[in-house]
Amino acid sequence: MYLRRIFENLINGAFKTNETTIRISQEDFRKMWMVDKVELLKNYLPNQLLEMKNVYKVLSKGVHELSEQECLKYFPALKLSIELILEQKIEMEAKRKQDEEVKRQLEEINKEIK
């Protein structure tokens, strides 16, 4: 259940961060199926999440249908998949910050040499 919340928070966070670019209302986004949300946000999500988009289906089934033993059996693989997604998200954020910093530095250089 907690892993499912992490997955949902990744999706919702990507939407909130890019809402103005996506141009869909929060209400319409909220009503969408998760698979459609992932497809809509594919340009803003870690590739690892896109490759493992079926994880949400398993997580949901665990909340609604699977026994405690079945959930425990699948937990290590699901946990690892979420960890990989989060690691890639962290890497994406670090790269974005590096890109911003290099752009800022180049702007400073251009101002100095004019």
Q: What percent of the chain has pLDDT over 70?
A: 98
15 pLDDT above the threshold of 80: yes
% of the chain surpassing 90 pLDDT: 42
In this predicted structure, the answer to whether residue 103 has a pLDDT above a threshold of 90 is: yes
| pLDDT classification of 95: cutoffs 50, 70, 90 | very high
The helix or strand, by DSSP H or E, that contains position 65, with its residue range, turns out to be none
More confident residue, 69 or 2: 69
Percent helix, strand and coil across the chain, each rounded to 5? 85, 0, 15
> What integer best gives the mean pLDDT of the chain?
88
pLDDT at 67: 84
1 pLDDT band, cuts 50/70/90, is low
The pLDDT value recorded for residue 50 is 83
What tokens were used for 61?
């089934």
Residues 20-54 have pLDDT tens digits of 899 899 999 999 998 899 999 999 988 888 877 77
Q: Where are the domains of the chain?
A: 2-88
Cα–Cα dist 13/42, whole Å:
13
CA 5, 90, 95, 57 torsion: positive or negative? negative
